[in-house]
């Protein structure tokens, strides 16, 4: 129950990895701000902030459902203020919200380009900026962003320059803020899955079979392992979920697989043997 009574602010928490992290910290008895645009059920995308709030309560946490578009500064600052007013502060921020479009330059409308930049790098910067006054007061503050290790390898850029720019933007925000606030005791890190995770986002990846993916719970368990460490242990690190769990003693990962009999697909931005 390491996070009992801690307040965790999670963006993109209405489904997928964000929801899984919300439920994992709830099992410790955490206060969970469930931040996402999905306030009303969508037949194409299951899950809303309200359904996750119900799940968080059942798991043992105290939920706060907040409809928020992280592209909108007023939305973000209102959500942060509501969280701090409700729970008395913010201990942990998880920047999970992200937009994806895996197409080449000629097949990328500028509307999609702008969406990814606004949600991914700008959204991560904005939400972190808004939470920082509270994190600076927290006894063991963490910021964890779902972003890959930074890379300039052209093979990750050529197929989808716009998405790579947006996603690596989150990585570079992590690098910069970690260095800027290193002396203030906030652990500002990133986490990325070794394999593709079975979320709605895989529908955007041509040829990916969900049976060759892992479930979001592996990322949630890794996030929990990071967020329960002392912030003084370090900052500016780029963790891989499987490596984090190996450090905690996990040796069998088969229960995370959607279909343990199928080979797993490595995620983007990682070498197969990295």
Q: What are phi and psi of 218, to 5 degrees?
A: -65, -40
Annotated catalytic, 163? yes
Dihedral (CA of 57, 62, 67, 68) sign? negative
C-alpha distances in Å from residue 115, one per residue of 50, 97, 100, 149, 163: 24, 12, 9, 22, 10
Contact 140, 91 (CB under 8 A): yes
Whether the Cβ atoms of residue 30 and residue 6 lie closer than 8 Å to each other: yes
CB 96 within 8 A of CB 201: no
Q: In sequence order, what E strands does the chain have? A: 7-11, 31-36, 62-67, 92-95, 142-146, 187-192, 238-240
Q: What are phi and psi of 236, to 5 degrees?
A: 75, 25
Q: Write down the catalytic residue from 9, 134, 156, 163.
A: 163
Which whole-number Å values give the CA distances from 73 to 29, 39, 148, 197, in the listed order? Answer: 30, 18, 25, 30
Per the CB < 8 A criterion, the answer to whether 95 and 11 are in contact is yes
What residues are labeled active site? 163
């Amino acid at each position: 129950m390491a996070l009992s009574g801690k307040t965790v602010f999670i963006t993109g928490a209405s489904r997928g990895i964000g929801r899984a992290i919300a439920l994992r910290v709830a099992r410790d008895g955490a206060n969970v701000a469930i931040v996402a645009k999905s306030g009303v059920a969508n037949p194409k995308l299951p899950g809303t902030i309200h359904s996750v709030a119900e799940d968080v309560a059942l798991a043992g946490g105290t939920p706060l459902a907040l409809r928020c578009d992280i592209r909108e500064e007023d939305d973000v600052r209102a959500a942060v203020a509501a969280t701090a007013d409700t729970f008395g502060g913010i201990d942990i921020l998880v920047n999970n919200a992200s937009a994806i479009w895996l197409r080449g330059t000629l097949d990328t409308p500028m509307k999609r380009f702008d969406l990814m930049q606004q949600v991914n790098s700008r959204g991560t910067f904005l939400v972190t900026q808004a939470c920082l006054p509270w994190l600076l007061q927290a006894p063991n503050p963490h910021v964890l962003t779902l972003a890959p290790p930074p890379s300039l390898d052209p093979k990750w850029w050529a197929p989808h320059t716009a998405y790579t720019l947006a996603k690596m933007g989150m990585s570079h925000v992590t690098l910069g803020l970690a260095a800027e606030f290193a002396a203030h005791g906030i652990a500002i890190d990133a986490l990325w899955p070794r394999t593709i995770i079975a979320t709605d986002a895989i529908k955007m990846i041509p040829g990916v079979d969900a049976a060759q993916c892992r479930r979001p719970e592996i990322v949630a368990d890794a996030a929990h392992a990071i967020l329960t460490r002392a912030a003084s242990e370090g900052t500016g690190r780029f963790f891989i979920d499987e490596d984090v769990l190996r450090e905690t003693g996990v040796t069998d990962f088969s229960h995370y697989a959607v279909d343990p009999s199928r080979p797993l697909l490595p995620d983007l931005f990682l070498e197969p043997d990295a």
